[in-house]
Amino acid sequence: MTAAPRFAPVILAGGSGTRFWPRSRRARAKQVLALDGDQTMIQQTLARLLPVAQAGDVWIVTNHLLDRTIAEQLPDVAAEHILSEPAARNTAPACALAAFLLEPASPDTVIGIFPSDHVVKDSQRFAEVLAAGIEIAASGEKIVVLGVPPTRPETGYGYIEQGAQVLAIEPLKSKIPVKVFRVRRFREKPDRHTAENFLAAGNFAWNGGIFLWSARTLANAIREHSPDMAPILEKIAAAHGTPEFESVFAEEYPKCENISIDYAVLERRSAKGERRSEIYCLPADFGWNDLGSWASLHEHLGQEDTDNVIDGATTGLVTIQSTGNYVYAPGKMVALLGVDDLVVVETPDALLITTRDRSQDVSKIVKSIHESGKMEFI
Amino acid sequence: MTAAPRFAPVILAGGSGTRFWPRSRRARAKQVLALDGDQTMIQQTLARLLPVAQAGDVWIVTNHLLDRTIAEQLPDVAAEHILSEPAARNTAPACALAAFLLEPASPDTVIGIFPSDHVVKDSQRFAEVLAAGIEIAASGEKIVVLGVPPTRPETGYGYIEQGAQVLAIEPLKSKIPVKVFRVRRFREKPDRHTAENFLAAGNFAWNGGIFLWSARTLANAIREHSPDMAPILEKIAAAHGTPEFESVFAEEYPKCENISIDYAVLERRSAKGERRSEIYCLPADFGWNDLGSWASLHEHLGQEDTDNVIDGATTGLVTIQSTGNYVYAPGKMVALLGVDDLVVVETPDALLITTRDRSQDVSKIVKSIHESGKMEFI
């Protein structure tokens, strides 16, 4: 083996907080909450990268509502590596900025794009798959995507259609090889029927938003597929580290197209065909969960669907003929009597009562509060 | 008309607090809670008596867990009129004690027995019915009970079987006469089938625990029907106002039979027959509700069964596709999404989640907490 390539994870942490209302708020989005343990989502994200990356090589792209909280939560990440977008422009400009920042000095550095608000059950396997992906991304103009093995006909995710298997990488400390497939196509969020067909076909994976490519590969891909965006981001990158950076960033960044990296680069590149696109998919078989709703948090924390998951009820719990509930009520004596599949979340200023089935609609509540102008609650 | 007879209401306030857990506790029973407005139940009870009674004539029988709170809530009631039972002995000894206290100095005073934790929608009508009842109770050895017109085949209350109507009293300020019926029998809590028959028969009323009789009548009834109890209570009454009262009360009162006034006097007396018993029933047509559970509070406060009743959510409320819920969450932004007929009650140290159907079983939760030894929560 050759020396490990330099690896720079870019953690995307600009999301707003609506799905986990009332715990999540604009300035307390999901990624800075400790939803499933002592560590916040972004702390977990960093912790699971550190077996493969140096903390000094980590970048964060976030916004001004969250940057201070993130800096406090991640003291090992350099302050100048925490970039606060002057305006939300989806993921393509955020990813591309990292490429243009790193390309001049170290074009071979492998950039990894990581959402900041997902959970992984098997961190060791995550590191193995990641190390394999970095190895591939370091060799030429290749793009690596991690594909989550689908377990249900989910209509809320994009899908990756895998082509031929080209390789299997044996991790150093594991006997489970990491398979490497070509990517045939990226598929947008499907309808139910299409999702069922994908699941039945067996060669489709969920797109979990984790990508690996060298700085040069990503920068060139932006130049080729989003030519308007490239000069803007090169100008911003050139100002990094100078006193003018903040003003250049604020001035130029909003000019970028508001587009996801999937649309801006991956789908356009994959149109070249399975072989010429050089996009590879590695199965993300490490217990990934995007925690998209209170119901997915219940699923993540409970052993069985019928389990009551009671967060923070440190002083006591009484359940009588009640199953499948998720309750967050820190420090309270919680009593459930004859209720099933509810979600009840209590914070110092708010109380949410819904069901697991309806919890994906919590954003409707946030929208309603927004319309009422009570901004202190969102 | 002759001068109005002297009237001494005796408010029974010794109940413990399990049905409205977690708001009610041993030392914060339902009667000292403000469940349906600014006034507590016992404050409402006193307020609706004052059009007919002098505050100086009001007596309270309670216990040592509640007496200080009650004294604070009812500053107009004389301290020596607040009696704290050394041991709970049901309602007969409490009622009888009042009779033996008042009989020596003013045997013609009409004593009224009133639960402290019921609500009344029409206070003016309450005063009218009460005034009529006092008038009857003042004339000879008569006993008056108020009978609540039943609206459903309730199995949780005792029933009064009415006999012939003997009179109709025209209130001073109202055109609705107060009808006066003889009482044929008292009937224990019936099963469902019997309750349905009672409702269909049309001459049955719920026993709401409100009774009127002169001090002499009640004292004599105790002497006749509970002869063991009479000398004990006469001894306690004789000590009232002396330095020995507390010790005599503590020593003697627990010797009394643990029995309700219904069993001890009313049922035994009614066995004399409809005419000889001289028990009369006046319809309590003033919107009585005993608030027996969170579900009855929902019924009392809401206009429609499908109304959401949200107590204390002073900062905001969002409801989406949710009906018939009762929520108590003081000072919180409350959000309901896709939930029906729930009861959710949040206090500083506890959170109850149940349904309106199951809320009569809240005492099971209190029992479970009691068994776990966490006495600070009950």
d(CA B332, nearest CA chain A) in Å = 5
Residue A205 has pLDDT above 60, yes or no: yes
Pick the last residue of a domain from B230, B256, B289. Answer: B289
The pLDDT value recorded for residue B312 is 77
The pLDDT value recorded for residue B1 is 45
What is the number of domains present in chain A?
Answer: 2
Q: For residues A316-354, b (16+ Cβ closer than 10 Å) or e, as one string? A: bbbbbebebbbbbbeebbbbbbbbebbbbbbbeebbbbb
Q: What is the pLDDT of residues A154-164, one digit of tens each?
A: 998 999 999 99
Q: Is residue A156 domain-shared with residue A56, that is, in the same domain?
A: yes
Show residues of chain A in contact with B358, CB under 8 Å: 321, 337-339
Residue with tokens 């857990």: B21
Residue type at position A70: I
B338 at interface of A, judged by CB pairs closer than 8 A? yes
CA dihedral A103, A106, A112, A116 (to 10 degrees): -80
d(CA A362, nearest CA chain B) in Å = 8
Interface size A-B, in CB pairs within 8 Å, comes to 149
Cβ contact, residue pair A332, B354, below 8 Å: no
Q: Is residue A320 domain-shared with residue A214, that is, in the same domain?
A: no
B346 at interface of A, judged by CB pairs closer than 8 A? yes
Cβ contact, residue pair A351, B346, below 8 Å: yes
Residue A314 has pLDDT above 80, yes or no: no
B282 found inside a domain: yes
The secondary element (H helix, E strand) that includes residue A214 is strand A204-214
The pLDDT value recorded for residue A174 is 80
Q: Is residue A184 domain-shared with residue A257, that is, in the same domain?
A: yes
End-to-end CA distance of chain A: 51
State the angle between helix axes of B123-137 and B41-49 in degrees (0 to 180), rounded to the nearest 10: 60
ipTM of the complex: 0.87
d(CA B120, nearest CA chain A) in Å = 29
For residue A369, give the chain B residue with the closest CA.
B318
Q: What is the mean pLDDT of chain A?
A: 94
**pLDDT band of A255, cuts 50, 70, 90:** very high
Rounded mean pLDDT of B33-39?
92
Q: Find the domain containing A207 and state its range.
A: 7-289
Q: What is the pLDDT of residues A55-86, one digit of tens each?
A: 999 999 999 999 999 999 999 999 999 999 99
A1 found inside a domain: no
B50 at interface of A, judged by CB pairs closer than 8 A? no
For residue B334, give the chain A residue with the closest CA.
A351
Cβ contact, residue pair A352, B374, below 8 Å: no
The pLDDT value recorded for residue B246 is 95
Show residues of chain B in contact with A24, CB under 8 Å: none
CATH of the domain at B73: 3.90.550.10
Q: Is residue B233 domain-shared with residue B343, that is, in the same domain?
A: no
Could you tell me the pTM of the whole model? 0.88
The answer to whether A10 touches A42, Cβ cutoff 8 Å, is no
The answer to whether A150 touches A198, Cβ cutoff 8 Å, is yes
CB-nearest to B353 from A22, A339, A362 is A339
CB-nearest to B349 from A322, A332, A377 is A332
Q: What is the pLDDT of residues B228-277, one digit of tens each?
A: 999 999 999 999 999 999 999 999 999 999 999 999 999 999 999 999 99
Q: Residue window 21-40, chain A: list those with CB within 8 Å of chain B.
A: 21-22
Task: Find all residues with CB under 8 Å of B183, minimum gap 6, and list them.
Answer: B145, B160, B161, B162, B163, B270, B274, B277, B279, B280, B281
d(CA A355, nearest CA chain B) in Å = 7
Q: What is the pLDDT of residues B268-311, one digit of tens each?
A: 999 999 999 999 999 999 999 999 899 999 999 999 999 999 98
Rounded mean pLDDT of B82-94?
96
B337 at interface of A, judged by CB pairs closer than 8 A? yes
Cβ contact, residue pair B334, A320, below 8 Å: no
The answer to whether A160 touches A183, Cβ cutoff 8 Å, is yes
Residue A102 has pLDDT above 90, yes or no: yes
Q: Is residue B343 domain-shared with residue B202, that is, in the same domain?
A: no
Rounded mean pLDDT of A226-237?
97
Rounded mean pLDDT of B56-84?
96
CB-nearest to A318 from B320, B337, B368 is B368
Q: Is residue B164 domain-shared with residue B263, that is, in the same domain?
A: yes
Residue A236 has pLDDT above 60, yes or no: yes
The answer to whether A258 touches A90, Cβ cutoff 8 Å, is yes
Give percent above pLDDT 70 in chain B.
99
Q: Is residue B264 domain-shared with residue B364, that is, in the same domain?
A: no
Q: Is residue A237 domain-shared with residue A149, that is, in the same domain?
A: yes
Q: What is the pLDDT of residues B317-376, one digit of tens each?
A: 999 999 999 999 999 999 999 999 999 999 999 999 999 999 989 999 999 999 999 999
Residue A100 has pLDDT above 50, yes or no: yes
**pLDDT band of A3, cuts 50, 70, 90:** low
d(CA A324, nearest CA chain B) in Å = 13
Q: Is residue A260 domain-shared with residue A370, that is, in the same domain?
A: no
**pLDDT band of B161, cuts 50, 70, 90:** very high
A69 found inside a domain: yes
Show residues of chain B in contact with A339, CB under 8 Å: 342, 353-355, 358
A117: tokens are 């608000």
The pLDDT value recorded for residue A361 is 94
B271 found inside a domain: yes
Residue with tokens 């509540």: A365
Cβ contact, residue pair A336, B344, below 8 Å: no
Rounded mean pLDDT of A276-299?
94
Q: Is residue A208 domain-shared with residue A67, that is, in the same domain?
A: yes
Q: What is the pLDDT of residues A318-352, one digit of tens each?
A: 999 999 999 999 999 999 999 999 999 999 999 99
Residue with tokens 């690896």: A7
